[in-house]
Amino acid sequence: MPLCSHIRDLADAIADAHARHEVIPPPATALTLTDGYAVQAEVGRRVGGAVAAYKVGLTSPAAQQAMGTREPIVGRLHAADILHGNAVVPSGTRPRFAEAELVVEIGRDLPPSNAPYDRDRVAAAVAAVHAGIELCSSRYAAEDVDIGALVADNSNAEWLVVGDRLSTRWEDRFAALDAILLRDGMPPVRGSTAAVMGDPLAALTWLANWLTARGEMLRQGQFVATGSCTGITEIARETRLSSRFADGGEAHVRIGDPADQGEEKE
For the stretch 77-120, pLDDT in tens is 999 999 998 889 988 778 899 999 999 999 999 999 989 999 99
% residues pLDDT > 70 (the chain): 95
% residues pLDDT > 90 (the chain): 81
CA distances from 62 to 57, 66, 69, 70, 247 (A): 12, 6, 10, 10, 27
Residue 35 burial (CB count, 10 A): 20
> Is residue 144 over pLDDT 80?
yes
Confidence of residue 259 (pLDDT cuts 50, 70, 90): low
State whether the Cα torsion 62-64-65-70 is positive or negative. Answer: negative
State whether the Cα torsion 252-14-149-78 is positive or negative. Answer: negative
Provide the residue ranges of all domains of the chain, joining segments of one domain with +: 5-256
Query: In what helix (H) or strand (E) does residue 47 lie, and over which residues does it extend?
Result: helix 33-47
For the stretch 8-47, pLDDT in tens is 999 999 999 988 889 999 998 889 999 999 999 999 998 8
Question: Nearest 5°: phi and psi at 202?
Answer: -65, -40
What is the reported pTM? 0.94
Question: Nearest 5°: phi and psi at 211?
Answer: -65, -45
At a CB cut-off of 8 Å and minimum separation 6, what does 176 contact?
192, 193, 194, 199
Query: Does the domain spanning 5-256 belong to CATH 3.90.850.10?
Result: yes
Q: Give the model's pLDDT for residue 201.
A: 99
